[in-house]
Amino acid sequence: MSCRQITLLSCLILCPWNRADCQDTSRWLVQEQRGSLTVYSEFPVDVDTIESQLQFVSDQLRDQLGVAGNDEAVELILFRSQSSYHNYLAQTLPEALQRRAVFFRNHDVSQIYAWNSRWLMVDLRHEITHVRLHQHLPFLPLWIDEGLAEYLETNADQQGSSSRRETVRWKSRLGFPPRLEHLEQVNSAAMMQGDDYRDSWAWICFLLHNSPATRDLLRSYLDEIHSGGVPGPFSSYAKQRLSDFSSLANSYFRKMHFHLISR
């Protein structure tokens, strides 16, 4: 299971990131700023590659859904090992110790903590999705937040070979498709199970890949939130605007295709 955002961290007053540590140049092998992005790393990293991957995610959100980030600072704090990550966060952020990476907002700075695992780029793509969504929107349903992060953590050409795809197809053909109404009742990261992350991913795949109409449903829903509206549960919002929404979704889950659609 990939890294997950700890939603409750937005309620914390104290931040684990000690600004004095920025001055400890002996700790950070890499300390580099690129525009609003600053990278602190205990191990060698290719900042160009990181910046390119994070920009790709930002571009996808903007082009597909009209979600635009802003110029607020984003800090990546990268640790050489799991033990270094744990040692740093144990006293200040114990909730993160079971996760490979974590994002939270510290006033006007978005911070991502991660350690040097083989999934590092996946983790960074996942967490930057949360960053951009929370920069653009005052709130959003958890299943959309996590579903988009799951979707964008890997390249498009890897989506079709995901083991999650086969599980969703198999269960849907047996009459157990992902249930949107269930996901809408899961309102905290602590409540989310592995199946919930998979099903959130599947619903995002349906909305983005089924047709321009389904993609525009998600885009218009996010636009309304961005404009200050409270559109209510997405399931009700979608059924009011697309009469065959449920049947389209059930049909899609039995196939789970990933062809690109145009406007």
Does one domain contain both 173 and 129? no
More confident residue, 73 or 23: 73
Q: What is the CATH number of the domain that holds 85?
A: 3.40.30.160
- C-alpha distances in Å from residue 88, one per residue of 51, 63, 94, 105, 117: 24, 37, 10, 18, 16
pLDDT of residue 160: 64
The tokens describing 169, both together, are 């197809």
Does one domain contain both 57 and 151? no
Residue 260 lies in a domain: no
Is the confidence at residue 250, as pLDDT, over 80? yes
Does one domain contain both 123 and 20? yes
Which residue, 76, 106, 136, sits at the end of a domain? 136
Which residue, 103, 136, 169, sits at the end of a domain? 136
- Percent of the residues in the chain that have a pLDDT greater than 90, as a whole number: 73
Which residue, 92, 115, 136, sits at the end of a domain? 136
pLDDT-based confidence at residue 5 (cuts at 50, 70, 90): very low
| Average of per-residue pLDDT across 227-242 | 97
Does one domain contain both 129 and 149? no
pLDDT of residue 92: 72
Over the range 168-196, which residues count as b (16 or more CB within 10 Å of their CB) and which as e?
bbebbeeeebbebeebbebeebeebeeeb
Average pLDDT over the chain, rounded to whole?
Answer: 88
Q: Residue 151 — φ and ψ, nearest 5°?
A: -65, -45
- Percent of the residues in the chain that have a pLDDT greater than 70, as a whole number: 87
Split into its structural domains, the chain has a count of: 2
- Of the candidate ranges 141-145, 186-190, 247-251, the one whose mean pLDDT is the lowest: 186-190
Does the predicted model carry a pTM greater than 0.95? Answer: no
Residue 258 lies in a domain: no
Is the confidence at residue 96, as pLDDT, over 80? no
Among 258, 251, 64, 253, which Cα is nearest to 161's? 258
Residue 262 lies in a domain: no
Does one domain contain both 47 and 126? yes
Residue 226 lies in a domain: yes
Residue 259 lies in a domain: no
pLDDT-based confidence at residue 6 (cuts at 50, 70, 90): very low
pLDDT-based confidence at residue 105 (cuts at 50, 70, 90): confident
Q: Please name every residue paired with 212 in a beta bridge, in sequence order, or none if there are none.
A: none
Does one domain contain both 28 and 103? yes
pLDDT of residue 1: 37
| Average of per-residue pLDDT across 102-129 | 93
